[in-house]
Structure 1
């Protein structure tokens, strides 16, 4: 492989990486909208597309691995513009990766908060179900249920002792 081909390959891999990270960023924005909106079906479809992009990013990273062992200053470029374009792609990749990672953290926190809220709602519903079941059992035994906001019926209070 010639130096020019190697340099061209590096430039192409950086463009590919930038494109994948740009798409991951766009998906991350949409993911945030879906997490906030609660549309689980669309969210799962989006996560499937995201997985495909993550796989592409991993492949690109593997292809870039040999270039990390090279001294960037010793790498000859056809022109200064080619080198500047590759450097700009590399810088944009770093920026996009940081943004994608930050979005992932934010989404994770939002999903955890939703999960905790659903757990609270389930506990409340379970408690209400248990209370309704207790009232139902009491009614089947023929006892009149005592409302929670009232004490025992007046006829059950012994007025002669003052209690």
Structure 2
């Protein structure tokens, strides 16, 4: 469960960074301020670090790894489109940069976000199933303890009755 929590937290971190990256890029398109590409680069490194942490998570199974590979491919496409936006802006090709950002890259980002959302949903569903299984096990244990207690009371009552009858 802790691993799933860490996995989910890393995916949420990726979601947060993706939004920030898109905002940085849009701010760069609007202002031309060079701080935004460097902030984008920091967030890109964070996403890749989160991704590496997820891949090293022991709870990640082969199905998840396949989904993560699809995510990484889509993320690489997103990153390439972003780099194209930045290079077009640096070259003074503002219209081309805007076109890439608001069309191609936006579609790719939606795909990346959908993949992350799907992984988070899967983790949430697994957590619910684990919780239900723990609840069932807890109820079974409580029932067993009740049966043992009732049996002990019954045995004590029988022994007490036998002791009284023999006097």
**TM-score category (smaller protein):** 0.3 to 0.5
Relative to the length of structure 2, the TM-score reads 0.42
Structure (1 or 2) with the larger CA radius of gyration = 1
Higher relative contact order (CA 8 A, sep 6+): 1
